[in-house]
Amino acid sequence: MDNVGIVVDDLPATIAFFRALGLELEGQATIEGEWAGRVTGLRGQRVEIAMMRTPDGHSRLELSRFLTPVAVADHRNAPVNALGYLRVMFAVDDLDEILSRLGKHGAQLVGEAVQYGDAYRLCYIRGPGGLLIGLAQELG
C-alpha cells in the first residue's frame, strides 16, 4: 500500500491533528492541470494536498482539500457500520496520552475507550471535520 486518501475541508487543522498523532508532514502541493483531471475524471480540478507519513515510515495519508470542483458527498457522520471507506486505525503506545494530546486539537470520543480482552485498549474518535479515527494500544 502506498497511501490512503482522505478528502478534508480544513487542511491546516487536519495536518496539525495528524502531527499531534505522531505523523510527519512529507510535503504539500497544489495539484491541477489537464493530466490530473485525466487521472481522477474530474476535469478542471484544483486540489491542495498534504502527504503525511506514519512514524514507522511504512504508511502514508494523502490529505486533499478540493478547491475545484467542490467536495460533493459528505459521509463524515456515518456510523461505524456504513458501507465504504470509513476510518483509519492507528497503533499507539499510550492511549490516554494520545487522547489528551488530540483533545487539544478538537478530537472527541465517539463512545468510550474499552479493553478488548488482554490484548488491546481501543476507541474511536472524531477529528477535524468529523473524520473517524480508530486508536489501538496493544497491552502486555
Q: What is the pLDDT of residues 86-101, one digit of tens each?
A: 788 999 999 999 999 9
CB-CB neighbours of 38 under 10 Å: 10
- Beta bridge partners, 45, equal none
With cell 497503533, the residue in question is 91
Is CATH 3.10.180.10 what the domain over 87-138 is classified as, yes or no? yes
Q: What is the DSSP letter of 118?
A: T
Phi/psi at 83 (5° precision): -70, 150
Q: What is the pTM of this model?
A: 0.84
| 103-123 pLDDT per residue, tens | 999 999 998 999 999 999 999
- Residue 131: pLDDT band (50, 70, 90) is confident
Q: 111, 121 in Cβ contact below 8 A?
A: no
**Residues 4-68, CATH architecture:** Roll (3.10)
Q: What is the DSSP letter of 16?
A: H
User: What would the mean pLDDT of 35-54 be, rounded to a whole number?
Assistant: 90
Residue ranges of the chain assigned to CATH 3.10.180.10: 4-68, 87-138
- Residue 129: pLDDT band (50, 70, 90) is confident
